[in-house]
Amino acid sequence: MKARITLAMACFIGFILCSAAVAYYPALIVRECPHCKAHVVQEDTLSGNTIGAKYYTDGKREAKMLPDHPALVKCPVCGGLFWVQESVEVDVGFEAAEGKQKVLAPSEKEMLNFLTGQELPKEKEFYLRMCCRWKVNDAWRHVANAKPSFSPEQVKNLEALSAPFDESLPGHRILKAEIARELGRFDEYLLLLSYQFDEDYGFVVSFIRKLAQKKVRAVKPFEQGK
Ligand SMILES: [Zn+2]
């Protein structure tokens, strides 16, 4: 009996430890704003998981236990934007963060202004253009039968995002096709999808092809059986 209880206890403790290991835990980091030198708090992920996560056709992932933390943030004190990784880390921990303001996620307009105001390395430009795309799509991401519409600046952003993709790579071709679908350019879309994709891409290609056949322009979560 004693041995059984001990085993049950061990299993229970193991379960708790395993659950704890994958639960979302934030790390709070105090950073110095490079513009006004204020000490502000940035949240990062210490641990998390993607259980129950949703993946969308525009590449966005929504995971409650693994939230996305922006790489470019807005200072809550002066409103200046700065890259988290390039800012000075002052302190770490909940105690250090107490009473300090948290950094904000920049809006789509702020990111577009940031993009046009300077020459950025390719990967940073890609990251920001993708963030802008997700922010725009968020407006109808959870809306049934949504009819997306883009401003000229938003169209320009999607075109600039699509241009560098290499059509000889199947993954790139799908990303390019999806931008064409969002823009309602279905002829271009079908041309991009008329390609011999590997079996690995079968589910994705068949899912997005069905959306195009129905002339759906909105982003959708990938769901089995649809
Ligand atoms: Zn500042």
Neighbours of ion ligand 1 (CB under 5 A): 33, 35-36, 38, 75, 77-78, 80
Are residue 72 and residue 119 in the same domain, yes or no?
no
Q: Which residue has the tokens 């890259």?
A: 83
Neighbours of 168 (CB within 10 A): 8
pTM of the model: 0.84
Query: Tell me, what's the pLDDT at 1?
Result: 46
Query: Tell me, what's the pLDDT at 10?
Result: 57
The domain in which residue 141 lies consists of: 108-213
Are residue 115 and residue 184 in the same domain, yes or no?
yes
Query: Tell me, what's the pLDDT at 104?
Result: 98
Are residue 133 and residue 191 in the same domain, yes or no?
yes
- Centre of ligand 1 to C-alpha 131, Å, is 22
- Centre of ligand 1 to C-alpha 165, Å, is 35
- Centre of ligand 1 to C-alpha 139, Å, is 28
Spatial neighbors of 87 by CB under 8 A, at least 6 apart, are 31, 32, 33, 34
Q: What percent of the chain has pLDDT over 90?
A: 71
- Centre of ligand 1 to C-alpha 82, Å, is 9
On whether residue 182 sits in a domain, the answer given is: yes
Query: Considering its fold, how many domains does the chain have in total?
Result: 2
- Centre of ligand 1 to C-alpha 76, Å, is 7
On whether residue 114 sits in a domain, the answer given is: yes
CA dihedral 185, 189, 190, 193 (to 10 degrees): 180
Are residue 47 and residue 74 in the same domain, yes or no?
yes
Give, in order, the Cα–Cα distances in Å from 26 to each of 41, 48, 156, 200. Answer: 12, 9, 36, 34
Most confident stretch, 5-14, 77-86, 117-126, 192-201 = 77-86
- Exposed/middle/buried for residue 81 (C-beta within 10 Å: 0-12, 13-18, 19+): buried
